[in-house]
Copies of this chain bind each other. A is one copy, B any other.
Amino acid sequence: MRAQANDQALVEVKELGASIRSAVAKLYRRFRIERGDGDLGDVASEVLAVLCKTGPQTLKGLSDFQRVTPASMSQVVNRLTSAGYARRDADPEDGRRVIFSATDAGRELFLADRALRHAWFDAQLVGLSEPDRAAVLRVATILSEIAES
């Protein structure tokens, strides 16, 4: 117990920051490797997943959530709509807004894509101990909150 407390006290924030930055960067790029051949890019896939899981969204909603500028997101959804995986609809309540939603083809792609892209990582998680898995879950929440701050 005392040893653990000492370990925690030894955690240098600067080193911790460097560790998690490095881990996040490597894992982000590692995820990119696990993708299908005819696939969309990784951000477009994530946006499609949001549309499928959370339902229709405005452009601003999508860009805020993914932490990119509206201009960037506009181009991502442009690829999705051009490919027929998403569609634009006017918002009847606010003429400035556009509602983006997944098409049937988009939902199909999402399901296939998810199976493919997540299989590798899910297999890694299964190999963890219960406490480690709980730690990963807790830290996922922590990091999400930090990312949104």
Contacts and interface: CB of A to CB of B under 8 A. Distances in A.
A133 B121 CA distance: 24
Contact of A139 (B46, B65, B135): B135
B25 A126 contact: no
Given A11-B133, A14-B118, A118-B21, A26 B147 contact: yes
Interface stretch (A29-37, A80-88, A91-99, A100-108): A29-37
Contact of A27 (B118, B137, B146): B146
A27 B133 contact: no
B26 A137 contact: no
A111 interface: no
A52 to B, nearest CB: 12
B137 A67 contact: no
**Assembly of this chain: how many copies?**
2
Given A16-B137, A136-B20, A142-B136, A33 B67 contact: yes
A17 B128 CA distance: 12
A133 B5 CA distance: 12
25 contacts: A4-B134, A7-B134, A8-B131, A9-B130, A13-B122, A13-B133, A18-B118, A19-B137, A20-B139, A23-B143, A23-B144, A24-B28, A25-B28, A25-B31, A25-B43, A26-B66, A26-B147, A27-B143, A29-B67, A29-B147, A121-B146, A124-B146, A135-B135, A136-B142, A139-B139
